[in-house]
Amino acid sequence: MGKSNTKSKFKDFLLTQGLKSTNQRELILEEFLRAGSHLSTEDLYLRLRMKNPRIGYATVHRTLKLFAECGIAEQRHFGDGQARYEASAQDEHHDHLICISCGKIVEFEDSRIEELQMEVAGEHGFSIERHRLELYGYCSSCSTSI
Amino acid sequence: MGKSNTKSKFKDFLLTQGLKSTNQRELILEEFLRAGSHLSTEDLYLRLRMKNPRIGYATVHRTLKLFAECGIAEQRHFGDGQARYEASAQDEHHDHLICISCGKIVEFEDSRIEELQMEVAGEHGFSIERHRLELYGYCSSCSTSI
DNA sequence: CGCCTAGTTGAAAACGGATTTCAATTTAAA
DNA sequence: TTTAAATTGAAATCCGTTTTCAACTAGGCG
């Protein structure tokens, strides 16, 4: 999904929900799209503060929740106790490789794994709505430098 | 691993670490083994309080951390903001199916998925230390009752 | 046994990220 | 405009986790 497309999707969402379009929400969405994925609320807040001190943490927090409701962002947890947000892929799901040395996060997708997940779930009588797969280890830079 | 085996493993751990064997630690381990897996600190604390009011939350918390250090328990997070602990399987890893309606948690293991994970990680230059796979959906009872 | 020292305990305080409160402000419909 | 409803941000609150600290053991030693 292109950036302008995402912006109009958000505007539509605000309209249909009877919410208002504000300068802060626009700034936060722009910075969110510019900044790349896997930012914590704090990360995004600090980036915004540098450019525009008139934005509060609470607003960033609430706006990220709106993004998630609207479907343009997803909340993630990688075990460090902080929520992170990433821009939603339009249709396909992906999982994560996380380097436990440098913190680098790589996305991947493997339909063979997804199929096996459905199979296993079916064996246990579950119908799956969503899943989480995270692989923790050392990226190439970190494993060679040991 | 049998329960008495687990208990002696914990005693050994305490000895080798220069820690002391106390009544509280014994009670907590017994209740932990009796109670089944996926308990939060709070869960275990409440169960212990019913039988013996002279046990503090802090002690339960610290003892569960000892279990994890010692290798007889593992900490898990299933997205409800609470840490949960489960007794460690002696050698094999397992993953989880979680019912988003009733909260039921089922364990499973699939070596085909594990193999594919290693393959995908290798393609990205990662060497994997551990992983987390959770499938969220509706168990058979909950999906039929809709 | 009783002493002694290091480890342990539990109530309460501190912590840290997430969330809410509320008075002042802004949006946008009438 | 005027006005009602939504939004904002600083500060307060929430809630699970973790630490503090004075009182209390465990267990080694004489």
pLDDT tens for B13-37 read: 999 999 999 999 999 999 999 997 8
CATH number at residue A41: 1.10.10.10
A56 and A24 in one domain? yes
Q: Do B83 and B99 belong to one domain?
A: no
CB contacts of A102 in chain B (<8 Å) are none
Give me the CATH number covering residue B106: 3.30.1490.190
- B31 with B71, same domain: the answer is yes
Q: What is the pLDDT of residue A34?
A: 93
CB contact under 8 A, A126 and B117: no
Q: Are residues A106 and A80 in the same domain?
A: no
How far apart CA A67 and CA B95 sit, in angstroms, is: 30
- Other CB atoms within 10 Å distance of the CB of residue A80: 10
Judged against a pLDDT cut of 80, whether residue B89 lies above it is answered with no
Which of A62, A87, A112 terminates a domain? The answer is: A87
Same domain for B31 and B63, yes or no, is yes
Query: In total, how many domains does chain B have?
Result: 2
Residues A118 and A69 in one domain: no
**For chain B, what is the mean pLDDT?**
90
- Distance between the alpha carbon (CA) of A124 and the C1' atom of D23, Å: 52
Rounded Cα distance between A37 and A57, Å, is 18
Looking at B51, B70, B87, the residue that finishes a domain is B87
- Provide the domain limits for residue B30: 3-87
Per-residue pLDDT band for A93 (boundaries 50, 70, 90) equals confident
Per the listing, tokens 């460090």 go with A80
Beta strand B95-99 pairing with B127-138: parallel
Model confidence over B34-62: pLDDT tens digits?
997 899 999 999 999 998 878 999 999 99
Is A68:A78 a contact under the CB 8 Å cutoff? no
Read off the pLDDT of each residue in A123-144 and give the average, rounded to a whole number: 90
